[in-house]
Structure 1
Amino acid sequence: MYKRILAAIDWTTSSESVLDQTRQLASLTGAAVFVVHVRAADFPSLPSILNTLASQALAEQPAGNGASSVARRMVDDAITVLSTAGVHAEGLLLESTPGATPRALLDQARELDVELVILGSRHHGRPSVLFRSNVADEVSRHAPCPVLIVP
């Protein structure tokens, strides 16, 4: 049935449901899971970059992005949850420009040749629905494979 599943997680509460559904399906089918988080790339100003680098140098901390490390921890925690349940899982942290999350997920699904994409529904307020589309809607319309959208 499914041999390769892409599970997209984000900061919303639906990520727990995404992982639960992923765990259940992967356990039943023996599928490998790719846990993916797409982080909108920040475009900091040059002064903020220099301040950050200077602060890290003075504190003798390795250069790094705080948001990136938090996102990496989220992906690593998801892999731990799945691995503890006996599911083979790998994690991917992607960056995209703001608004390009659906394209990043679709490109990754094609590149990994997955047979199922699992992601949460994101309920936007009324004004948001008028001006931009939902990530789950975009992915489901253009995915190269079936898509499971969980609440």
Structure 2
Amino acid sequence: MYHRILVPVDHSDTSSAALQEAKRLANEQHAVVRLVHVIDLAQFAWSANEFLDVPQLQASLRQGGQTLLDSRAEELRALGLTVEVDLLEIWGGQIARSLVDEAEKWQAELLVMGTHGYGGLTHLLLGSVAEGVLRIAKTPVLLVRTPEHGA
């Protein structure tokens, strides 16, 4: 049913839970999994840049993101799954839009991602990438919570 599954990854527990679900689905469907990690290179390019080595910080973001992708990809490849990785760089843009654009460009059939499921003031203050993706995605989206955030 789903032969192309896109999975955004980061260092969170919810991302790990989503990856576990994507592994299961990919194994059952013999699907290709594309792991993506988004980095915002603009986050250090503001007025404090006179005190920071911005190019070094941006290089560190790239290196950390690629290390994360390679590590997660190896987990899936060890199961015999076909995996692609992509480090998405944005410059102060919206992460949700970047993920949806990547899903469309890659022709993903399913997007699997983690969500904290926060509500109330926490949601208002932090926002939600998952909610943003749900609002604009044309691709089906499967949201996965960690057990402690379960229904």
TM-score bin (small chain): 0.7 to 0.9
C-alpha deviations, 1:34-73, integer Å up to 9, x for none? Answer: 0011112233325633895xxxxxxxxxxx7122211111
Q: Are the aligned partners of 2:8 and 2:36 in contact in 1 as well (CA < 8 Å)?
A: yes
Which of 34, 45, 52 aligns to 1:48? It is 52
- Give the aligned CA root-mean-square deviation in angstroms: 2.4
1:122 counterpart = 2:116: yes
Q: Per-residue deviation at 1:74? A: 0.6
Q: Unaligned regions of 5+ residues in structure 2, if any?
A: 146-151
Which residue matches 2:2? 2
Paired residues of 1:19 and 1:82 also in contact (CA < 8 A): no
| Larger CA Rg, structure 1 vs 2 | 1
Q: Give the letter for the 2:29 counterpart.
A: T
Identity %: 30
Structure 1 residues 112 and 80 mapped into 2: Cα distance closer, same or farther (>3 Å)?
same
With the length of structure 1 as denominator, give the TM-score of the two structures.
Answer: 0.82
Distance 1:33 1:112 in 2: 11
Q: Secondary structure at the match of 2:37?
A: strand
Q: TM-score, normalised by structure 2?
A: 0.82
Q: Deviations over 1:76-134 (max 9, x none)?
A: 01100010011100111112244610000010001001000000003457444225631
Q: Structure 1: which 5+ runs fail to align?
A: 53-63
The count of aligned residue pairs is 141
Q: 2:142 aligns with which of 129, 136, 148?
A: 148
